[in-house]
Amino acid sequence: MSTSVIVVPMTAAHAGDVLRVYAEGIATGHATFEAEPPTWEAFDAGHLAAHRFVAVDGGTVLGWAAASPVSGRCVYAGVVEDSVYVAQAARGRGVGRALLAALVDSAREAGAWTVQAGIFPENAASVALHRAAGFRVVGTRERLGRMSHGPLAGQWRDVLLLENRLPEAGD
Q: How confident is the model at residue 129 (pLDDT cuts 50, 70, 90)?
A: very high
pLDDT value of residue 1: 61
pLDDT tens profile 69-109:
999 999 999 999 999 999 999 999 999 999 999 999 999 99
How would you write the chain as a 3-class SS string? Answer: CCCCEEEEECCHHHHHHHHHHHHHHHHHCCCCCCCCCCCHHHHHHHCCHHHEEEEEECCEEEEEEEEEECCCCHHHCCEEEEEEEECHHHCCCCHHHHHHHHHHHHHHHCCCCEEEEEECCCCHHHHHHHHHCCCEEEEEEEEEEECCCHHHCCCEEEEEEEEEECCCCCC
The highest-level CATH class for domain 5-165 is alpha beta
Q: What percent of the chain stands above pLDDT 70? A: 96
pLDDT above 70: residue 171? no
pTM, full prediction:
0.94
